[in-house]
Structure 1
Amino acid sequence: MINSKKTYSFYLNEDKKALGIKKLPLMLFFNPFDIDLEIWLFQKALRKCEYLYNVDKKTFFWKLQKFIAARRFKRLSCKLGFTIAPNSFGPGLRIVHRGTIVVNGQCKIGANCTINACVNIGAKAGFDEQVPKIGNNVYIGPGAKIFGDIIIADGCAIGANAVVNKSCSKPNLILVGVPAIEKGKVSISLLK
Structure 2
Amino acid sequence: MINSKASYLEYLEKDRLRLGIKKHKPLFLNPFEIDLEIWEFQKALRKCEYFYNIDNNSIMWRIKKFFAARNFKRLSCKLGFTIPTNCFGPGLRILHRGTIVINGQCEIGENCTLNACVNIGTQAGYIDKVPKIGNNVYIGPGAKLFGDIYIADGCAIGANAVVNKSFTEPNSVIVGIPAVKKGSLDRDLHIN
TM range (shorter): over 0.9
Distance 1:97 1:160 in 2: 14
Distance 1:13 1:152 in 2: 25
Matched with 2:83 is 84
Matched with 1:44 is 43
Matched with 2:158 is 159
Task: Give the TM-score normalised by structure 1.
Answer: 0.97
Task: Give the TM-score normalised by structure 2.
Answer: 0.97
Deviations 1:45-91 (A, max 9, x none): 00000000000101000001110000000000000000000000000
Matched with 2:94 is 95
Q: 1:54 to 1:158 in 2, by over 3 A?
A: same
Q: 1:13 to 1:190 in 2, by over 3 A?
A: closer
State the aligned residue count: 191
Q: CA deviation at 1:110?
A: 0.1
Q: Which runs of 5+ in 1 are unaligned?
A: none
Percent of pairs with identical residues: 69
Instruction: Establish whether residue 32 from structure 1 lines up as the match of residue 31 from structure 2.
Output: yes
Q: How does 1:1-192 map to 2 (within 5 A)?
A: 1-26=1-26, 28-188=27-187, 192=192
| Partner AA of 2:101 in structure 1 | V
DSSP 3-state at the match of 1:188: coil
Distance 2:153 2:75 in 1: 30
Distance 1:12 1:190 in 2: 20
Q: CA deviation at 1:23?
A: 2.1
Q: CA deviation at 1:30?
A: 3.4
Distance 2:188 2:84 in 1: 29
Q: Which runs of 5+ in 2 are unaligned?
A: none
Q: CA deviation at 1:188?
A: 2.0
DSSP 3-state at the match of 1:169: coil
| Partner AA of 2:6 in structure 1 | K
